[in-house]
Amino acid sequence: MRIRQDSYEITRTLISEEAVQQRVKELAREIQQQKQGCSRLIMVGVLKGAFVFLSDLVRHMQIPVSIDFIQTTSYGNRTQSSGEVQIIKDIMIPIEQEEVILIEDIIDSGRTIYRLKQLLKTRMPKSLEVCALLDKPDRRQVPLAVEYTGFTIPDHFVVGYGLDVDEQYRNLPYIAVAQPTTRKGEK
């Protein structure tokens, strides 16, 4: 399978649509089991990548859930983080004494979630946990606990199911490996 857009092409499917959907259902069950008796769970999606994952996840939840979003930037239009995490959209729901789960599409270096946890802890939540669809622990540069993980993956650049390169491929229902294309005359 090869799908090509501008400077990247999909070379293969890493995680099928069926496997993604099955794991999302399982994660919803795991979270519900851990949060049994919780009066309200606030799920904070990290934009833009986590929006697809979060929307599917909450549709399987049977406990009271509130949703908010936070948006950061550290990648720009690059495939590697600059290392500098900036908050460009903050949450609107007060989280003091609330149970909060940060929902992330992928954890790579860990810097973004580490920074977000530092920020949100200052707002005194009752609990603050992380749920990531994908985790690349081999790339971790900061100590980080991830309470709920969908899939641990090798160090590939991946797209689909909300993940993108230059705002492309977010709409794919599966996770795929993407590689830079070479144009004629380039090596």
- Give the residue from 115, 127, 165, 138 showing the smallest Cα distance to 6: 165
Whether cis (ω within 30° of 0) applies to the bond prior to 48 is yes
> Where residue 5 falls among pLDDT bands split at 50, 70, 90?
low
Q: What share of the chain in percent tops pLDDT 70?
A: 88
Give the per-residue pLDDT at 187.
47
Q: Do 172 and 16 contact (CB within 8 A), yes or no?
A: no
- pLDDT digits 0-9 by tens, 112-165: 999 999 999 999 999 999 999 999 998 899 999 899 999 999 999 999 999 999
- Contacting residues for 151 by C-beta, under 8 A, at least 6 apart: 15, 23, 133, 134, 135, 175
Q: What share of the chain in percent tops pLDDT 90?
A: 73
DSSP state of 7: T
CA distance 40 to 54: 16
Residue 65 pLDDT exceeds 90? yes
Q: What is the phi/psi pair of residue 99, to 5°?
A: -90, 125
CA distance 169 to 4: 10
First to last CA, the chain: 22
Domains of the chain: 17-156 (3.40.50.2020)
Residue 180 pLDDT exceeds 60? yes
CA distance 174 to 146: 22
Catalytic residue among 56, 105, 108, 135: 108
Q: Is 108 a catalytic residue?
A: yes
- pLDDT digits 0-9 by tens, 7-52: 888 999 999 999 999 999 999 999 999 998 888 999 999 999 999 9
Give the per-residue pLDDT at 83.
61
CA distance 102 to 51: 12
What radius of gyration do the chain's Cα atoms show? Answer: 17
Q: Would you tell me how many other CB atoms lie within 10 Å of the CB of residue 139?
A: 15
pTM: 0.87
Residue 183 pLDDT exceeds 70? no
